[in-house]
Amino acid sequence: MKSETLSGGRQLVSPDLVAPNLFRRRPYWAKRFGTAPILPTTREEMDALGWDSCDVVLVTGDAYIDHPSFGMALVGRLLEAQGFRVGILPQPDWRSAEPLRALGRPNVMWGVTAGNMDSMVNRYTSDRRIRSNDAYSPEGAAGLRPDRAVLVYAQRAREAFPEVPLVIGGIEASLRRIAHFDYWADKVRRSVLVDAQADLLVYGNAERAIVEIAHRLAAGERPDEITDVRGTAFLRKTPREGFAEIDSTRVDVPGPIGPRPDPYATESPQTCAPSPVEALVPLRPRRLDCRTTVIRLPAFEDVVRDPVLYAHASRILHLESNPGNARALVQRHGERDVWLNPPPVPLSTEEMDAVYDLPYARKPHDRYGGAKIPAWEMIRFSVTIMRGCFGGCTFCSITEHEGRIIQNRSEASILAEIERIRDLTPGFSGIVSDLGGPTANMYRLACKDPAIEAACRRPSCVYPGICENLGTDHGPLIQLYRKARAVKGVKKVLVASGLRYDLAAESPEYVRELATHHVGGYLKIAPEHTEDGPLSKMLKPGIGTFHRFRQLFDMYSKQAGKEQYLIPYFIAAHPGTTDEDMVDLALWLKKNRFRADQVQAFLPSPMASATAMWHTGKNPLRRVSRDSEAVHVPRSLKVRRLHKAFLRYHDPENWPVLRDALRRLGREDLIGPARHQLVPAFQPRGTGTRPEGARTGAKKPGKGGKFRTTHVR
């Protein structure tokens, strides 16, 4: 049996995981031109480097910041390290193809992305209103990228140089790789690969795929010959030879819901012991090779017509997301199949270090002069220490994009980056603003048994409880914090990434370290809700876990002589949430003296499990059938606004609608001045007259469809 080194130096055992080192290949011949101080964005910059052409041109919807936190910079520097001459076209005018000819014809390929954010999430709020700013643009200017930017940029690239291979990627392409519900169009759309007319789509963290594709195209292979790269999608009219095709309904037979509370588990809701692939696939012959098996999902036309089939397809996609056991997926779109290869093998620690240690200029391109780019201002003093998340929250895109397996950098690489920030980044005052990643405290956490990890199909390692096979030792992270604080010139290291408090509560020593040294007065955490109904659809722990963490945090803050507060985030109008749930959440907020500062409702992002619930009213966390579990969806704008109003129970503007709702729900006992009551019976003069459709929170939209709270002292 073959194996491949993964995060933390462990071995993920699987018969089909073979991933040679990312930097193993002989560099392309253009390596002789050396390293560019910053990747060129104009013909004049190319001339200064002595280039007559670019091998790869990357088109992005973001401003160009040469820093590993920005996808195009990371991909560009990685391809440069492979020997390619890389140019970047940041936020080109999309109204014609001419701006995409600025760097000339790419010798090898186009690379197209919307940027670090989905262009639709970037531009529209959860109520489909246009945002007034764009954090990834100079001075936060809005309108510098088109809606559905991948499609538009791809079309213009085809017009500019139609013969050049076109590869699309980034989070916008990644989350639209199959037929998906589009919230802004309120319909199911085709795979973005079809609409963009691209040759290849790379999904997830695509370092392995993009390096493989670039070298093979440069060696003369045609795009339609590159069909064996993990983490890619492509189009075909005919089946691939050597693959056994099985129908998705035989993998997960639609039928009545069984007694098992978590059908993703292989033995019990709390464990994920190893299980052969065929345990979930009742076929003959019983052993199915992941390398030569493809699962056919319901066709695009079928999932458009039938919400049950859409929910079923979503469930299969998420079941087949573990790189250790995932099989290829195929979905018919008209006369062609969209073929999805299994997810990429995660990077090893050594590979992660090499990627983050590339010669980034660590600043915005000089073309922006002194203009401030909000996203850069936010992260320029922060350090990414890991990737991925095994939380599996159904509303979140991290797992779909980065995967469940945590990919870690080494201490040495992280500390070296802190020193580079100290020495090279203007304005550094000694404060590292964040040491984290998608989550603050999953650094070096993993399954105790790599064989179990490779076989597991659970969507979450921490729901309904923390899996007994999951290692929760925060020791390596505590050690990293202490070494980071000891770096010369560093005064304080803050932790601003999302903290997984249920994991933190397993390590009181970590909570002590955090509260004593790494909180600047307030710590943001995300319970998301208090009631079991919505929490079960989010795959989030019960609110009791929050209280356990809060006790530890308050105790260690007091011991450190610090007055510090938790700032909890919640989601309004998530699938599975009833009006009664929102009443109980509002009462909890009042009892615990939390007041919402910014409010937004759930935003159905493409491909998320919660979005499948939103669109279909079915629960894809369980087997889906006509009579399977229905999910209550607070879909109407009126109900969504009511749920947001409950979160801002303290705002007199919301009291009239809340009183009406409480009377309708038979909860008039909550109307009055007492502490246990939610809203008073009186209305202050000049309030309660907000026009229908006005915002119920602060002027700036909340991040990620959540809201921020303040603690009433």
Q: Domain ranges in the chain?
A: 1-235, 237-345
Matching residue, tokens 């055992």: 13
Q: Is the per-residue pLDDT at 672 higher than 70?
A: yes
Give the pLDDT confidence score for residue 597 in this predicted structure. 75
Q: Is the per-residue pLDDT at 270 higher than 60?
A: no
Segment 315-330 shows an average pLDDT of 95
Q: Residue 689: how many CB atoms within 10 A of its CB? A: 9
* Strand 3-5 relative to strand 11-13, pairing: antiparallel
DSSP string computed for 319-359:
HT--TTT--EEEEEETTEEEEEPPPPPPPPHHHHHHHHTS-
Of residues 393 and 5, the one with the higher pLDDT is 393
Confidence of residue 397 (pLDDT cuts 50, 70, 90): confident
Q: How far apart are CA 604 and CA 615, in angstroms?
A: 9
Residue 174 token pair: 């990644």
Residue 588, φ and ψ in degrees, nearest 5: -65, -45
Confidence of residue 260 (pLDDT cuts 50, 70, 90): very low
Alpha helices by DSSP H, 425-507: 450-455, 475-485, 501-504
CATH code of 1-235, in short, is 3.40.50.2300
Q: Is the per-residue pLDDT at 10 higher than 70?
A: no
Residue 484 token pair: 């980071």
Residue 334 token pair: 């008209």
Residue 625, φ and ψ in degrees, nearest 5: -150, 180
Give the pLDDT confidence score for residue 691 in this predicted structure. 53
Q: Is the per-residue pLDDT at 487 higher than 50?
A: yes
Give the pLDDT confidence score for residue 253 in this predicted structure. 60
Segment 57-80 shows an average pLDDT of 98
Percent of the chain with pLDDT over 90: 82
Matching residue, tokens 């520097």: 77
Q: How far apart are CA 655 and CA 221, in angstroms?
A: 66
Confidence of residue 341 (pLDDT cuts 50, 70, 90): very high
Q: Residue 425: how many CB atoms within 10 A of its CB? A: 13
Averaged pLDDT of the chain: 89
List C-alpha distances in Å: 435 to 481, 482, 533. Answer: 8, 12, 34
Q: Decide: residue 579, CB within 10 A, 0-12 exposed, 13-18 middle, 19+ buried.
A: middle
Q: Is the per-residue pLDDT at 3 higher than 80?
A: no
Please count the helices (runs of H) and the strands (runs of E) in the chain: 24, 26
Segment 337-351 shows an average pLDDT of 96
Give the pLDDT confidence score for residue 268 in this predicted structure. 37
Q: How far apart are CA 698 and CA 708, in angstroms?
A: 10
Q: Are 199 and 234 in contact (CB under 8 A)?
A: yes
